[in-house]
Amino acid sequence: MIPTASSNSPVSTHSIAPAQVIRGSGAWVEAQTSISKLCHSPLLLGRSQSTDSLRSKLCCGLNVSGLTVYQQNLEHDCCELDLQRLQKDFIRQSCDGVIAAGGGKVLDSGKLLADRLDVPCVTVPLSAATCAGWTALSNLYSPDGAFERDQALKRCPDLLVFDHDLLLEAPTRTLASGIADALAKWYEASVSSGSSSDGVIQQAVQMARVLRDQLLIDSLDAIQEPGSEAWRRVVDACGLTAGVIGGLGGARCRTVAAHAVHNGLTQLEACHSVLHGEKVGFGILVQLRLEERLGGNRLAAQAHRQLLPLLRELGLPVCLDDLGLGQASLNQLQQVCTFACREGSDLHHLPFEVTPGALIEALVGAAETSPVLP
């Protein structure tokens, strides 16, 4: 008789990592052979005018390698309107793969486009602002930039090219944003999965703790000394390790209240210029405030006191004023909180109920520090 596990251990499917990762200084040049094996006529996808020159250099490198490249740019965030247009262009130009080079929205769009067309996908992050170059997940937005939903993909990218030379070109602000987004892995996973009996999820949660510790140690040095050893450790942590945690632990090791707050904030046009990780970092403070006040968690208050000065030193928003919402109306804040608290929101992974009214109080008091109790 074949022994079986208990009914408490159901089968789970994990998309853990890209099929291949090439990282370090000069990774793009090293990746040419691997890219040529995946496709011959790729669509090279980008967006920001500030990275046009970088993408032109990437295109030249691909041409030298014998590839025929068709370039296209997003007109919006990762949204259906762009994806439908790009899919038609891809077919019309007889492309056979997608290379997404840019920030998180570009990477998410490229992954989702390749997933729908069932063609090879190469991600080339041009900043360490997110781990989107790693994951089998895309976030979808409206044409106006409001978060709508996330979409699980069939697999992680076929190739991730994580070139430190390209990342050095990114503004410092994007790295600070990536630090906040990566820090959220611990603060969210420890709540959603900290008590899980699943060994793999337990290990993913502990990886998130180690990631947090690394960022607490190295973040300020990384911001102050681009290209240093601390900088390399931090960009790898934000762009790679954070993705490992999400891949290994699954959805429960990705998001809780911090990302739910982000999703709510995107509903306001005033926040559309605020980077993803900047909103998430603010969301961590809000989550810790909820844990303290509604969950009675004194450790959350301690974590809040530890994190708040670091976020400030990194130049990240810690209050509504910093987000451009100092004069926001009650109706606008209600719009944010109603969306964050909607049915199915990751906010409900918290072990207590959160109403829109309670969330508004936490938003307003995100930067307030609680007294140290004996």
Q: What is the CATH classification number for the domain harbouring 37?
A: 3.40.50.1970
Same domain for 351 and 301? yes
pLDDT of residue 7: 46
Same domain for 295 and 329? yes
From first to last of its 374 residues, the chain has per-residue pLDDT tens of 455 554 456 788 889 999 999 999 999 999 999 999 999 999 999 998 889 999 999 999 999 999 999 999 999 999 999 999 999 999 999 999 999 999 999 999 999 999 999 999 999 999 999 999 999 999 999 999 999 999 999 999 999 999 999 999 999 999 999 999 999 999 999 998 877 888 999 999 999 999 999 999 999 999 999 999 999 999 999 999 999 999 998 866 768 999 999 999 999 999 999 999 999 999 999 999 999 999 999 999 999 999 999 999 999 999 999 999 999 999 999 999 999 999 999 999 999 999 999 999 999 999 987 765 55
pLDDT of residue 230: 98
Residue 314 lies in a domain: yes
Same domain for 248 and 356? yes
> Angle at Cα 283 formed by Cα 282 and Cα 284, nearest 5°?
90
pLDDT of residue 8: 57
Which residue range forms the structural domain that includes residue 356?
Answer: 173-364
pLDDT of residue 372: 59
> Angle at Cα 236 formed by Cα 137 and Cα 43, nearest 5°?
50
Q: Give burial (CB, 10 Å; 0-12/13-18/19+) of 197.
A: exposed
What pTM did the predictor assign?
A: 0.95
Same domain for 308 and 214? yes
pLDDT of residue 329: 96
Of 127, 155, 149, residue with least CA distance to 54: 127
Residue 325 lies in a domain: yes
Residue 369 lies in a domain: no
Same domain for 67 and 128? yes
Same domain for 151 and 204? no
Same domain for 159 and 215? no
Same domain for 323 and 354? yes
> Residue 174 and residue 130: Cα distance in Å, rounded?
9
Residue 13 lies in a domain: no
Domain count, the chain: 2
Q: Which of 136, 167, 198 is the last residue of a domain?
A: 167
Same domain for 270 and 122? no
Of 61, 33, 24, residue with least CA distance to 166: 24
Of 164, 231, 169, 167, residue with least CA distance to 27: 164
For residues 56 and 172, the answer to whether their CB atoms sit within 8 Å is no
Same domain for 226 and 86? no
Residue 374 lies in a domain: no
pLDDT of residue 252: 62
Q: Which of 144, 167, 190 is the last residue of a domain?
A: 167
- What are the Cα distances from residue 200, in Å, to 155, 196, 247, 329, 342? 19, 9, 11, 44, 30
Q: Which of 133, 167, 201 is the last residue of a domain?
A: 167
Residue 313 lies in a domain: yes
Q: What is the CATH classification number for the domain harbouring 195?
A: 1.20.1090.10
Same domain for 217 and 313? yes
pLDDT of residue 175: 98
For residues 157 and 38, the answer to whether their CB atoms sit within 8 Å is no
Same domain for 45 and 163? yes
Q: Give burial (CB, 10 Å; 0-12/13-18/19+) of 4.
A: exposed
pLDDT of residue 168: 97
Residue 239 lies in a domain: yes
Residue 16 lies in a domain: no
Residue with tokens 């969330």: 359
